Chains A and B, each alone.
Chain A
Amino acid sequence: GAVVSQHPSWVICKSGTSVKIECRSLDFQATTMFWYRQFPKQSLMLMATSNEGSKATYEQGVEKDKFLINHASLTLSTLTVTSAHPEDSSFYICSARDPAGGGGNEQFFGPGTRLTVL
């Protein structure tokens, strides 16, 4: 199946700094990618939809100025957590749909990035 990678897999940063997380579709082009956040022992919550060549669509309650999303190409979306604080510590997961992969709206998920803000 289609492969989605994320980098880094984990990151520790100081409070007030910014962290960039990359999400890549390795063997297909994704016009749309999704960013989710997962708290410990909880489900995935959709943060935003990343659209190639246009602005991201954020879910209600997600601060777009804090979580900057850029989808510069058909294989890369980035999530930048600006001025990170300890409450931003979480597991961030991206996914993409392969439009050429047939029906069913299957999402392919990256392995996730664990962010710890000290």
Chain B
Amino acid sequence: GNSVTQMEGPVTLSEEAFLTINCTYTATGYPSLFWYVQYPGEGLQLLLKATKADDKGSNKGFEATYRKETTSFHLEKGSVQVSDSAVYFCAWGDTGRRALTFGSGTRLQVQP
């Protein structure tokens, strides 16, 4: 069935390190792909999105490219900060179902 698979966390990095959080999906058709971030004690916030193959979503230094050939949407950031510590969720959605399917979330801890 349709699903999203994320790399397990926690991911612990030092400040200014390079970040990659892997995400792959299984879906029929052409879903939209999203990364959401959840800071401690808060709700989910959209970080970035891509609606079609080869689109690159970007925001706050984070990037992810919709790779249809590998069914992936890996999240990257060149230099993480302590303030990036949060849980990151990959998700996909289609216009038919309209609800989102989430990955399990990856906790990122950035140490000074």
Contacts and interface: CB of A to CB of B under 8 A. Distances in A.
Interface of A: 1, 6, 32, 34, 41-44, 46, 49, 93, 95, 97, 103-112
B60 interface: no
SS class of chain B's interface: helix, strand, loop or mixed?
strand
The 6 closest A-B pairs by CB, nearest first: A111-B43, A105-B93, A109-B44, A104-B51, A112-B43, A43-B104
A110 B43 contact: yes
Contacts of B104: 42-43
Contacts of B101: 46
Nearest to A44: B102
A111 to B, nearest CB: 4
Interface of B: 32, 34, 36, 42-46, 49, 51, 89, 93-95, 98-105, 107
Contacts of A44: 44, 89, 100, 102
Contacts of B103: 43
B89 A106 contact: no
Contacts of A93: 43-44
B102 A107 contact: no
Given A1-B46, A34-B99, A105 B105 contact: no
A32 B99 CA distance: 9
Contacts of A103: 32, 51
B43 A43 contact: no
22 contacts: A32-B98, A41-B105, A43-B102, A43-B103, A43-B104, A44-B44, A44-B89, A44-B102, A93-B43, A95-B44, A103-B51, A104-B32, A104-B51, A105-B98, A106-B34, A106-B46, A107-B93, A108-B46, A109-B36, A110-B43, A111-B42, A111-B43
